[in-house]
Amino acid sequence: MVMKGKKGVVLGIANKKSIAYGIAKACQEQGAEMAITYLNERFEQKLAPIANELGCNGKLYPCDVSKPEEIVALRETLEKDFGKIDFIVHSIAFAPKEGLSGRFYDISKEAFDIAMDISVYSLIEIVRELKPILSENSSVLTLSYYGGVKYIPNYNLMGVAKAALEMTTKYLAEDLGKDGIRVNAISAGPIKTLAAAGIGDFSFMLKWNQAHAPLKQNVTIEQVGNSGMYMLSDLSSGVTGEIHYVDAGFNIMGMPAVEFSDE
Ligand code: NAD
């Protein structure tokens, strides 16, 4: 039970297909206690049974990261519930539809600002707001994707946001290391979730990854969940500022291994 005695908060569960659910489940199975958050009332009812299953004991709270007052309220509630917490999962991203297909250079400033605010700045704001209640041996985890490092068709605006998120992870890691707070990211391979459904031609991404990843598979939320749990546990106490790939090895490929017949 490597998470026994650990308490934390998981932001970003929309349903049981969410990567955040995979991470929360792995943490619960290893003895963690947690609160989870929902975006708005539309998700509140759907998340109630999931909160029960995760043993949250009613600790299901609203947190739309575009509303700073909800982040403040979350800190106050967590402090009442737990005193200090040991981990935060930030599994949140959003870009307006215009940013996830078509030509990248057409992107509006409004869409750009929204994507950066929800998908990147929210990590900084959550960590800053919750820092007073983070224990001196705590771990923060966010979720990235390879489209923040290399061009991926249609990932467009989210690719730029993930590049910023990965550097945000590293700068936060340096800043907070002296306070005993670790900050890491998992760069997951493509998984069919609600957020992924918004990306143009996502099914092609899944096929391409499966065909070209060394493990010849797409990863599952259970696989990402177990790696996430490791990042949140003391097993990774020497790791911070890391972008850890859980993508069946896809990121190491420089060229697909295809055979050409001699003509
Ligand atoms: P998901 O739709 O299950 O989760 C996205 C979550 O973001 C939802 O719970 C949604 O409510 C939340 N969210 C959006 N706007 C918000 C706001 N303003 N305030 C608070 N929450 C908000 O999809 P997912 O694929 O599990 O995504 C989780 C993370 O994993 C994202 O950062 C995503 O970019 C990343 N990721 C996904 C994949 C993939 O292929 N699915 C791959 C790599 C990384």
Per-residue pLDDT of the chain (263 residues; tens, 9 = 90+): 999 999 999 999 999 999 999 999 999 999 999 999 999 999 999 999 999 999 999 999 999 999 999 999 999 999 999 999 999 999 999 999 999 999 999 999 999 999 999 999 999 999 999 999 999 999 999 999 999 999 999 999 999 999 999 999 999 999 999 999 999 999 999 999 999 998 888 999 999 999 999 999 999 999 999 999 999 999 999 999 999 999 999 999 999 877 777 66
pLDDT tens-digit map of 58-70: 999 999 999 999 9
Residue range 7-247, CATH number: 3.40.50.720
pLDDT tens-digit map of 17-29: 999 999 999 999 9
Q: At what angle do helices 68-82 and 122-130 cross, to 10 degrees?
A: 40
Give me the active site residues, please: 145, 155
Mutate to test the pocket of ligand 1, among 13, 65, 193 (most ligand atoms within 8 A of CB): 193
Query: How far, in Å, is the centroid of ligand 1 from the Cα of 133?
Result: 24
The rounded Cα 183 to chain-centroid distance in angstroms is: 12
Distance (Å, rounded) from C-alpha 158 to C-alpha 175?
A: 25
Residue with tokens 């007052």: 69
Distance (Å, rounded) from C-alpha 66 to C-alpha 68?
A: 6
Query: How far, in Å, is the centroid of ligand 1 from the Cα of 104?
Result: 21
Neighbours of 65 (CB within 10 A): 23
Stretch (H or E) spanning 188: strand 181-188
- What residue spans define the domains of the chain? 7-247
pTM (predicted TM-score): 0.97
Query: How far, in Å, is the centroid of ligand 1 from the Cα of 263?
Result: 47
